[in-house]
Amino acid sequence: MKKLMALLCGVLFGTGLMLSGLADPAKVSSFLNLSLLSSGQWDPSLMLVVSSALAVYLPVYLMVVKPRALAQQGPVFESHYHLPTKRVIDAPLVIGAALFGLGWGLVGICPGPAIVNLAQFDLSIILFVTAMIVGGFLGRQLMDVMPVTAHNA
């Protein structure tokens, strides 16, 4: 049942990414490019996607997830919630966020949409996802050589 739910959620997520335009690098780039504000060409439509996600998830988190997590009850198909415990803003977080933002801003592709875009069998997307996997491997290697407190706090 857990795998079936993961499958259904993945289909829901992928369909939402395609329908909302979040999988379209040109649409994402026109949203991220705030210099288009003055010309009236800035595309705010992805703000609706983000706002909708927050409007759905925030009440569910506050009314269901957080109380259950505090009571050490897990979700329906898992033994516990996998919530972040790190509360510090440190160098690896800032550097990682900057690198992620740089990659996202340059090509307009985020990891989730990149995976969804693999369905197009576009060589540039395949190369991007391959490079993303290599970047994940390199990031893991860097984390392994950093002091323990830098990435396990």
Distance CA 16, CA 9 (A): 10
From first to last of its 153 residues, the chain has per-residue pLDDT tens of 888 988 999 999 899 888 888 888 888 888 888 899 999 888 888 888 889 989 999 999 999 999 999 998 988 888 888 888 888 898 888 988 999 888 888 888 888 889 999 988 999 999 999 999 999 999 888 888 876 554 454
142, 127 contact by CB (below 8 A): no
Name the residue among 22, 20, 45, 44 with its Cα closest to residue 34.
Answer: 44
Q: What is the C-alpha to C-alpha distance for residues 110 and 106, in angstroms, rounded to an integer?
A: 11
Helix (H, G, I), strand (E, B) or coil at 113: helix
pTM > 0.85: yes or no: no
Cβ pair 92, 150 in contact under 8 A: yes
